C-alpha cells in the first residue's frame, strides 16, 4: 500500500491534489479528528504506543483510498473496469464457495448440506459475514446493470442468481437484507410504473396474507432454519450491543481508543460489537461518530441525484445496512473499507455524470 500511495501521489499535480482535498474537506476533518483522539487516548493512558500507531494507520490508509485512488480511476476513465471488478470479485467468491461446498456435501446437494459444508470447510478460510458483504456488493452491481437495461442484462441476472443463492448458503442475513433493500430501491427509483404498482400490490398481498405465510414458513424446516435462519434470532447481537453501550457510556466523548472489547454472550467471548457505528463510537467517541454519520448523509444526498448514471447510491445503502450488523473499520487494507473509501471518493469528487457501468 505504501508503494501504491507514493506512486499515485507522485502522479498528482499540486492543482489536482488541492482540488481533490477541497472536494473532501469534511472527510479530511474526520481523519484529523481521529488522529487527534488517538493521540489524546495515548496520552491519558488508555492506549499504548502500539495501539496508537495501529489506530493512526487506519485514517492514513483511508486518505489513500478515498482521495488518491478515486481520482486516479476517474482520471484514467476506468470507472467501468472498477464496476466490473466489484461484480466479478463477488462471483469468484460465490463460485468457490458453492463448488467447494457442493463437492464436500456429495451425495447430498440440498441447502442444509451445503450450509453445513460451507461452515466446516469454507468459513474457517473466509468468514461468512465478510464474504457476504463482498457478494452483496456484486449482487447490487448486477441489479444496477439489469435496471439500466444493459445489453448483457441476462448475464448479470445469472450472476445475481448465483450470488444470492450463495448468500443463502452463507446464512448471511445482513447481506441478504442489504440486497433486498437495494432491490426495492431499484424498483421504486428506476423501475417502470407498472413494476412499482405490481410491487406495491405484491407487498400488500403479503401483509394481508401474513398469517398464512407465517404458518407456511414455520412449518417448512428449510425456509425456517436454513433460508430465513429464524431460529438463531439476533445471534446475540442485541445482548452484545447492550453490554458494549454500558461500557462505553463512561467514555462517551472521546471513546476508549480501541474497538477491541471482550463480551460474553451465550458462553462465547466476542471482541467486537458486530456494528461498525457502535465500534466507531467505542474507538473515537461521540463527536467523531457524528462527523462520520454526517459524511454518509452528505454522500447519500449527493449520490441519489445521479442514480440514472452511477450505482454509487445503491452500493452505499447496501454497505450501510451491512455495517449495522458487522464490523468494518474506516481504513485498513481489507476489501470492504477499501471499497467504501473509493466509493466516498467518487461521490465527493464532483464531475460531469457518465454512465460508469457501461
Residue 215 in this model has a pLDDT that exceeds 90: no
Please indicate, yes or no, if residue 5 is contained in any of the structural domains: yes
Domain-embedded: residue 321: no
Model confidence at 325, pLDDT cuts 50, 70, 90, reads confident
Query: What is the per-residue pLDDT across 228-246, written as a single tens digit (0 to 9) for each?
Result: 554 554 456 677 777 777 7
Query: Closest by alpha carbon to 164, among 149, 177, 145?
Result: 177
Domain count, the chain: 1
Residues shown for the chain? 358
Any domain includes 296: yes
Question: The C-alpha cell of 233 is what?
Answer: 434470532
Residue 102 lies in a domain: no
pTM to 2 decimal places: 0.82
Report if residue 274 sits inside a domain. Answer: yes
**C-alpha to C-alpha distance for 295 and 17, rounded to whole angstroms:** 20
Residue 195: inside a domain, yes or no? no
In a domain, 97, yes or no: no
> Which position has the grid cell 405465510?
213
- Say if residues 257 and 276 touch (Cβ distance below 8 Å): no
The helix (H) or strand (E) run that includes residue 270 is: strand 268-270
Cell of 91: 462471483
Least confident of 85-99, 132-146, 323-337: 323-337
pLDDT digits 0-9 by tens, 159-207:
999 999 999 998 888 899 899 999 999 999 998 999 999 999 988 988 8
Cell, residue 268: 462465547
Residue 261's pLDDT is 64
The domain of 28 spans 1-76+235-306
From residue 137, give the alpha-carbon distance in Å to each of 40, 93, 126, 173, 176: 36, 12, 16, 14, 11
Within a domain: 267: yes
Amino acid at each position: 500500500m505504501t508503494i501504491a500511495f507514493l506512486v499515485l501521489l507522485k502522479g498528482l499535480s499540486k492543482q489536482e491534489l488541492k482540488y481533490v482535498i477541497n472536494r473532501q474537506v469534511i472527510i479530511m476533518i474526520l481523519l484529523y479528528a481521529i488522529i487527534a483522539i488517538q493521540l489524546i487516548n495515548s496520552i491519558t493512558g488508555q492506549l499504548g504506543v502500539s495501539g496508537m500507531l495501529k489506530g493512526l494507520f487506519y485514517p492514513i490508509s483511508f486518505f489513500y483510498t478515498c482521495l488518491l485512488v478515486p481520482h486516479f480511476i476517474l482520471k484514467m476513465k476506468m470507472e467501468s473496469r472498477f464496476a466490473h471488478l466489484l461484480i466479478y470479485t463477488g462471483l469468484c467468491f460465490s463460485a468457490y464457495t458453492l463448488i467447494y461446498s457442493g463437492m464436500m456435501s456429495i451425495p447430498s446437494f440440498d441447502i442444509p448440506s451445503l450450509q453445513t459444508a460451507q461452515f466446516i470447510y469454507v468459513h474457517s478460510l473466509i468468514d461468512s459475514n465478510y464474504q457476504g458483504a463482498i457478494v452483496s456488493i456484486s449482487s447490487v452491481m448486477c441489479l444496477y446493470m439489469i435496471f439500466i437495461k444493459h445489453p448483457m442484462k441476462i448475464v448479470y441476472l445469472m450472476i445475481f442468481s448465483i450470488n444470492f443463492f450463495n448468500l443463502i448458503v452463507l446464512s448471511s442475513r445482513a447481506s441478504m437484507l442489504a440486497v433486498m433493500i437495494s432491490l426495492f430501491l431499484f424498483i421504486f427509483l428506476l423501475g417502470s410504473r407498472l413494476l412499482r404498482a405490481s410491487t406495491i400490490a405484491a407487498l400488500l398481498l403479503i401483509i394481508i396474507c401474513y398469517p398464512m405465510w407465517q404458518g407456511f414458513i414455520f412449518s417448512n424446516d428449510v425456509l425456517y432454519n436454513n433460508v430465513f435462519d429464524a431460529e438463531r434470532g439476533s445471534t446475540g447481537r442485541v445482548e452484545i450491543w447492550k453490554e458494549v453501550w454500558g461500557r462505553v457510556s463512561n467514555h462517551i466523548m472521546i471513546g476508549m481508543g480501541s474497538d477491541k472489547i471482550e463480551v460474553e454472550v451465550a458462553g462465547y467471548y466476542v471482541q467486537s460489537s458486530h456494528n461498525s457505528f457502535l465500534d466507531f463510537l467505542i474507538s473515537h467517541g461521540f463527536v467523531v461518530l457524528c462527523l462520520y454519520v454526517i459524511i454518509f448523509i452528505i454522500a447519500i444526498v449527493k449520490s441519489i441525484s445521479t442514480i440514472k448514471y452511477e450505482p454509487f447510491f445503491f452500493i452505499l445503502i447496501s454497505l450501510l445496512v451491512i455495517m449495522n450488523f458487522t464490523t468494518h473499520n474506516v481504513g485498513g487494507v481489507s476489501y470492504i473499507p477499501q471499497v467504501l473509501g473509493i466509493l466516498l471518493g467518487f461521490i465527493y469528487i464532483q464531475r460531469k455524470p457518465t454512465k460508469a457501468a457501461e
